[in-house]
Structure 1
Amino acid sequence: MLLLLPMTVLAQGKTLHDASCLQCHSSITGGKANSLYTRAEHKVKTLPALHKRVKGCAVAADVSWSSEQRETVVNYLAKTFYRF
C-alpha cells in the first residue's frame, strides 16, 4: 500500500532518520547508509516488518522517539525506499 503523505511529514521523517540512523548505517555499509534499503536481499518486505525493524533499530541505537516520531520515520522509509 503506497501512503499519501504531505511533504512536511516526509521531511520530518527524513530529518529524524538522518539524525539518528545514518551514522550506524554508514558504519555497517562502508559509508553508503541508504544502501541498506535498496539491497536486493533486504529483509523488510512488508509494512508491519518495517515497523518492527524501525522499533528494534531505535532501541539498539538508544533513540527515544515517541510513537508518533517512529511512525513518521516508518512512513518516510516506506514512501522513499520500500514503496509497499
Structure 2
Amino acid sequence: MKILFAIVISLFIFTSFNSHAVDINNGRTLHNENCLSCHTTDKYISKTRKVQDLAALESRVKRCDFSLSTQWFEEDIEDVVAYLNQDFYKFK
C-alpha cells in the first residue's frame, strides 16, 4: 500500500510541473496588444537582429514585459515566445 501511495504521489508531482501547453493564439494576441505599441515586427526579421537563440528571445520578452509593466504570467511569456518563434525566429 505504501508503494502504491508513493507512486501516486510521484505521478501527481511530476505531472503538475510544466503542464502548460503553449497557446500560440494567446501569444499572438498578447503580442499584438502590447508589443506593437513600441515597435513593428521588422526587428524580428532584420539581418542585424540582436536575438540569436531561444534563450535570448525569452530574455527579451521578459525584459519587454517588465518595461511595459504588463505583469504577464509565466505562461503568457511562454505563449508570446512560442508565437514569435513560430512566426518569425524559427529557432529549433
- Relative to the length of structure 1, the TM-score reads 0.79
Partner of 2:38: 24
**1:60 corresponds to which of 62, 67, 92:** 67
Rounded to whole Å, the distance in 1 between the matches of 2:33 and 2:44 is 17
Rounded to whole Å, the distance in 1 between the matches of 2:79 and 2:23 is 7
Residue 61 of structure 1, CA deviation: 1.0
Runs of 4+ with deviation above 4 angstroms: none
One-letter amino acid of the structure 2 residue matched with residue 62 of structure 1: S
Q: How does 1:2-81 map to 2 (within 5 A)?
A: 9-25=23-39, 33-81=40-88
One-letter amino acid of the structure 1 residue matched with residue 66 of structure 2: V
- The share of aligned pairs that are identical, in percent, is 39
In structure 1, list runs of 5 or more residues that go unmatched: 1-5, 26-32
One-letter amino acid of the structure 2 residue matched with residue 47 of structure 1: L
Residue 66 of structure 1, CA deviation: 0.2
Rounded to whole Å, the distance in 2 between the matches of 1:9 and 1:66 is 13
One-letter amino acid of the structure 2 residue matched with residue 56 of structure 1: R
- Relative to the length of structure 2, the TM-score reads 0.73
